[in-house]
Each structure stands twice: as structure tokens, then as C-alpha cells.
A and B are shown apart, each in its own frame.
Chain A
Amino acid sequence: MLDAKGLDGRSLVRRRAGLRLWLSALWLGMLCLAALLAPWVAPHDPLSQDLFLGRLPPFWVAGAEPGYWLGTDSLGRDVLSRLLYGARVALLVAVLAGSITCLIGATLGLLAGFLRGWVDMVISRLIDIWMAFPPVLFSILLIAVLGPSLTSIIIAIVVIDWTRFARVVRAEAMVQGTMDYVASARVAGRGRIGTMLREILPNVLPTIVVLLTLEMGIAVIVEAILSFVNLSIATDDPTWGGMISEGRISIHQAWWVLVFPLIALFLTVLAFSQLGEGLKDRFDPVLR
């Protein structure tokens, strides 16, 4: 029987999904611009300290200093400039760590799901072992081993999060592998790897894109967490996590040092995940 309510609800969901897709893309676009143009748009040198200008509040609070729109931290560094420069690290980690993780994880998942047999057994067992590690602790451990640097962060994210892709892609590839079109490709004389790349991959690609978007958000958070425990990139360069860590200490004296990077992080993570969810709805043939 027809269910008018269901139809209405679905179109409502779609409209809302479209809106959040655009809002997310807008925020991420602005962030990219900020990161690219940071040296030109930042009002101050993000590293320059001036103890006389320490803990200035943001512009709308009494005692603010013109030119320091979002205030300064306890060392007198401009919060807005540090935020803009921090966006560079965040986005760099998001893009690099996200795509490398995706490449490795999806490849392993595809191999396991399509080739099955011992390949699947090895990869599945590895995934099980990985799932038994507390991820945050694992990443901190890796950074401690590798030494704090941008490369280490990216390596740590890749090493920990490849299972996210591998698990899902494996399951999808297994489902696709049983479909008739795969069998007919094989009958038509296509090799195993050829079938995998030409027949299976295009069908799991939407899932991979969604996972990639979500992973970028996760990478931003992991970077922030690592800088929060002082294990991110080398010392001075501004990162959102580092700013949060400093802000946490002076939370009662200068809330703005914590609040602004927190808002930036919050919106970025939300944007990546809403983008992922929105794409999922777009790709999902049932909803479309």
C-alpha cells in the first residue's frame, strides 16, 4: 500500500541532506582558503610573543586591544593568526593521512573480499588484532616511537586506521563478488585482478569516497589529540590541538584561548562527517 507519509518524509530528508552538504562544503572551502592564504590574511605573526599583550580578550569584551580580534594567549600570541595557521596543519593531515589510509586500507579490503582464501584469512586476522588495540593509546605509542613530526602523525593515522577501510570494503567486495555480473565478466575471459579493478572497484567506489571523507575528519581529530598530549609536530608551529592544550590550562583566566580553536575543530569535524553522510545519501540508490 502507498504510504504518503513515508514519501513526504523521504523528500524532507533529501532536502535537509542537500542543505547540510552545501553548508559543510562551504565551511571546508573557507578553511582551505584560510589555510592557503594564512601568510597574507593573518593579522600577526602566529609565533611572535609579547608578554605585555598577554591574555587580551576578544574584540567585544572590555579590555580588548584593536587588531587582536580573537584575543591573545598567555604568551601574547594572536589567537586568530594561530587559528589560521593551525588550519594548514589540520588540512594537510586530513588530506595526506586520509588519502594514504584510504589507498592502503581499501586495497587490502578489496584483495581480501575478492580473492578470499588465505589472503582473506591473513587480512581478517590482522583486522581482528588491530581492533583489540585502544586506538588513541596506539597512536600515542607510535608517535613516541617515531618521534613527534608531521610525518609521524600521518604514519600513525595510516597504521591505525587502515582497518576502517579494509573492514567495510572487504564486506562490500564480498557482496559484489557473488553478483552475476562478476561471473559473466569472468566467463568473458577477464582475469582475476582485471575483474577486481574493472568490475568490483567501480561498485565499491562510492563507499570508499564516503569513508575517505569521514576519515579526513577523524585525521583532524587525531592530530588535535596528539598535539593535545604534546606529541604532535615539532613544538612551536601552531596547531588547534596545541592551542586547546594551552587553553585547557588557562581555562578560568582566558576562556577564548580554548573556545576558538574548539569551535574551529568542532565545525571542521562536523563538516567532514556531514559531507560524508550527505554523500552517502546521494550514493544510496534506495534513497535516490
Chain B
Amino acid sequence: MSFLSIRNLSVRLKNGPPLLRRVSLDVAAGEVRGLVGESGAGKSMIGKAVLGILPPSVQITEGEILLDGTDLLRLSPRESRRRIGASCALIPQDPLTALNPSHRIGPQITNRLVDILGWTRAAADARAIDLLAEVQISDPARVLRSYPHELSGGMRQRILIASAFAAEPKLIVADEPTTALDVTVQKQILRLIAGMQARHGTALLFVTHDLGVVSKVCQKLSVLYSGLVLEDSTVTDFFTAPRHAYSAALLAATPKYTDPDAGLQPVPDAVIGAVRAEVDSFDRKAAHG
């Protein structure tokens, strides 16, 4: 049974257009699923919905988010927050803005262990040191006493990764964790996340627009366009025989998909037209019941 199971999740801008259209996907324990699509396809929105951090201007109109079998959307906000906090974590996109500038690094990793999960301060501190060592930060004790502005971007991303794994979560959402970094650092960070994931056996929902990254890290993937899941398959199937025309076009547009540096090339207009039509027909069907 999957640890995370999203069923028919629809999200829209309040008084505005839909952002997710009946999205369904599963992430089994220890499994890595990539969410692929252009910007605006809704891939980040899925991660935010799972973690309960959708912006207030957005509302969920239907669907279920089953975390370990319990629908988060049916729980009280307080209870769902508690469950998410206890079993999930986020690796954010931009390490420069994801650490609180007025707190030292140490408490930013350990506070939740103490406040929410009831660890002792000493145990949490020891854990933080171990984690920083695990993400290959030298002199962890000094780094824990530092303020974020004293550290480099790559260093901060390592800290955020360590922090995400701190409470041994069952599921981590990685929201384009390498996009904001230098190309040289990207590969190291990617390898680090993959290594940590394998060692800790954590399920990972990996949001990215980079098929090269998917081929390296993921076992399964969902291809999104305009909030609609076009294809849900294993990475091997996807790269050998994509089922959807849009997926094929994506692959074709990224000739060197083994090279993580190559970005998405434009998809042919004909394919885009067909996908748009598919989205429209979905909306028409939804409108009629």
C-alpha cells in the first residue's frame, strides 16, 4: 500500500481558473516519484497541497490526499498539520530565502524535534551534528552556531537537506532543489539527495522540469500539463516507450536527456495544440458533471 496516495485532486484559484485537474498519483514507501512539466503545469502545486502550504488565494475543490491511509483534507487543520509535521518534510527551491535570517542554524534544525516531536535538547543537538556530517559539512559545531548570511548557497542547501531528513520523515517533497544553485553545485546536491534517500529509505516526491534529473534519481514519474496528469509510468517505460504524444515530444525536445545541464526545448505547436484540446475536453466534461 502506498504511503502517499492522491486521488482526483482538483485545485483552483479562488474565482479563477483550475490549477490542478483531478490529479491522482501514488508514492510507495521508499519510492522516488518525479513530477515533470513546464513551469505553470501545477507540479509545485501538488507538493504544496500535500504539505498543506497552498497559498490562501488557492482552494481545493475536490479529491483526497491520503497520507498513510488517512485523508488529510478530512482532518482538522491542526491534526493534519501535526501529521504532516511528524511524517513529511520539504527541501525548498531557494536555499538563500529558506532559512530564517535572524535565527542561528542550530535551532532551525533542532527546534521542531524538541517542540513538535518531544526530543530532549541534547538528543536533538547531537542529531544535528550527525546530520551535518552526513551532508558532508566540515566543522558542524561551528556551522550550527552560524547565522544563514554567513554561509554559501550550496552550504545552506546542504543544511536544508539535513534538516529535511532530521526527523526521519516517511516522505520528502523536493521542490526543484537544484534550480537556484550554480551548475557545478547542482550535481553534488543531486547526488547528495539521492544518497540520503537511498540510505534512509525515504519516499521522495521530486518536482523538476529536468528530465535528466528524473532519469538519475526517480523510479516513477508523472508528466503534467496545465494541471492534468498526461502520463504516469515508471522511468524505464517512459524513457524507452513514452505513452503520451506530449511525453514523446518532451523526450524528443531534450535530445541529451542524460545531460542534466540541458533544459527543456520547446515542444512542437501541433503537440501543444492537441494537449490543449485534451485539457479543454476535460474541463467540458467536468462542467457537465
Which residues of A approach B to under 8 Å, CB–CB?
A: 1-6, 8
Contacts and interface: CB of A to CB of B under 8 A. Distances in A.
A2 B15 contact: no
Contacts of A2: 13, 16
A1 B56 CA distance: 13
Consensus secondary structure, chain B interface: loop
Given A2-B16, A6-B57, 8 more contacts: A1-B40, A2-B13, A3-B57, A4-B14, A5-B14, A5-B56, A5-B57, A8-B15
A30 B56 CA distance: 44
Contacts of B16: 2, 4
Nearest to B44: A1
Interface in B143-170: none
Closest A-B pairs by Cβ, 5 of them: A5-B57, A4-B16, A3-B57, A4-B13, A4-B15
Interface residues on B, range: under 10
Interface in B13-59: 13-16, 40, 55-57
A4 to B, nearest CB: 4
Nearest to B56: A5
Contacts of A5: 14, 56-57
Nearest to B19: A1
Nearest to B15: A4
A3 B19 CA distance: 12
- B13, B40, B56, B57: which has the most chain A beta carbons within 10 Å? B57
9 contacts: A1-B40, A2-B16, A3-B55, A3-B57, A4-B57, A5-B14, A5-B56, A5-B57, A8-B15
Contacts of B14: 4-5
Contacts of B56: 5
Nearest to A6: B57
A136 B57 CA distance: 47
Nearest to A3: B57
Contacts of A4: 13-16, 57
Interface in B241-280: none
B46 to A, nearest CB: 15
Contacts of A1: 40
A50 B55 CA distance: 69
A200 B204 CA distance: 57
Interface string B215-251: 0000000000000000000000000000000000000
A92 to B, nearest CB: 50
B1 to A, nearest CB: 34
A229 B14 CA distance: 56
A1 B16 CA distance: 12
A5 B40 CA distance: 18
Nearest to A4: B16
A2 B17 CA distance: 10
A4 B16 CA distance: 7
A1 B227 CA distance: 14
A266 to B, nearest CB: 36
Contacts of A3: 55, 57
A2 B58 CA distance: 11
Contacts of B15: 4, 8
A2 B55 CA distance: 12
B59 to A, nearest CB: 11
